[in-house]
Chain A
Amino acid sequence: MTRALGWLAAIGLGAGLVMAFGVAPREATQGNVQRIMYLHVPSVWVAYVAFAVVFVASIVYLARRAERADHVAHASAELGVLFTGLTIATGSIWGKPTWGAWWTWDARLTSVSILFVMYLGYLLLRGMIDEGDRAARYAAVLGVVAALNIPLVHFSVYWWRTLHQPPSLMRPGGSSMPGVIVAALLVNFAAFSLLYLYFLAKRVRLLQLEAEAAA
């Protein structure tokens, strides 16, 4: 099952690369730099999915005390941090030629980085507690609070400053992007989602084995 997921993700990523570099056209205004979007946008999508999973798994853990839920939350938080990190890195690489600076305090970039440090703190907290069930409980509480905080962070940072171009895919009244670009993007969305699931399954399994070895 996990292995099949792994192969699917690999195939998806391969197809994504072909779509992004081979099939999708060179974007008129931004040039080749735009192609980083095929990495950037799916990353941020996966990061948000990962944090949503942390939220749900944390609640399940607090309600049922199922160790498995804790492993899922832990693994998903790690992946969320990984993918927000990827989002920030790709955003910054894209920003250099586009805005002329590696970093701008653009609203969406800022709020993603806040999520990044928030969940980095989550992992830090986990690392600093030795007893398994206490780490799980504390982390679950933090996982819930952090997730509830995401919309607040979003709104506040958005009102505070916005330089970013409005999201173009979800804009009501149809997409402004050519179909090929949308298709390339969707392939990458699917590939990244599969990759996330594969990593999650692997990591949960590993955490489970670690817990068994410790008990």
Chain B
Amino acid sequence: MAADPLIRVTGLRKAFAGHVVLADVRLEVRAGEAVALLGANGAGKTTLLRILATLTRPSRGTAFVLGHDCARAPERVRPHIGLVAHGAYVYEDLTALENLRFWTALSGLAADGAVLARALAAVELERFAGERVRTFSAGMKRRLSLARFVLSRPRVLLLDEPFAGLDQRAKKWLEGYLEAFKAAGGALVMATHSFGRELALADRIVILAARTIALDTPRASMGAEEIARLYRLHTEDGA
């Protein structure tokens, strides 16, 4: 059981109104492993993440997270995943603390003031607990949305362009956070179309092109340039 991958996707296909976005996608991610999902805009990275997050149903094929089917048993998958996408999932007119409290109530997590304060401290937002999110920077909002996962402790984090729009300090912090998450035995899937810090964190590089996985390879000691070369090779071949 321990050796079973946390994420297992087979024969996945997704079409929106006659337009095929993903076809025959196969992917496995093990505990403690980080995958960088590369692909151009519209290559289906976000769709794949949303299927894993149970937000979108696949047209065909299956996606399992911790052995639970994302389409058939989304309720069983949801406690184990954390999704960080473009939106920060926060209400602008609430304070950081109120946002977090609302989320715990919604999720049915028991959390008193001290626990919430600790979660905010873990993402270095304790000084802003009483301030409205409207005044926050992009980095602070992303940290606040990560604070939720300090509380719910998911095994799988799905991130869509996690480093986009962050300043240097926030990037550094997030890198450290994700590194720790991985070390604790979590699985990471990071979608990106830039060649940013995701690559340094990743154990494996997966390239999505022409609606399917064009390349799935260990990063080993490849540098960003090498990966960029591979990327061009595969995307142009595929197109």
Contact = CB atoms under 8 A, between A and B. Distances in A.
B18 A213 contact: yes
Interface in B1-38: 15-18
B57 A130 contact: no
Interface string B47-80: 0000000000101100000000000000000000
Sort chain A's interface into a size bin: under 10
Contacts of B57: 133
A215 interface: yes
A61 to B, nearest CB: 14
Taking chain A's interface residues, is the majority helix, strand, or loop, or is none over half, making it mixed?
helix
Contacts of A132: 17
Contacts of B60: 215
Among B18, B59, B60, max chain A CB count under 10 A is at: B18
A131 B18 contact: no
A214 interface: yes
Contacts of A213: 18
Nearest to A129: B17
Interface in B91-117: none
Given A214-B15, A214-B17, A215-B15, 10 more contacts: A130-B16, A130-B17, A131-B16, A131-B17, A132-B17, A133-B57, A213-B18, A214-B18, A215-B59, A215-B60
Interface of B: 15-18, 57, 59-60
The 10 residue pairs across chains A and B that have the minimum distance between CB atoms: A214-B18, A130-B17, A215-B15, A131-B16, A215-B59, A133-B57, A131-B17, A214-B17, A214-B15, A132-B17
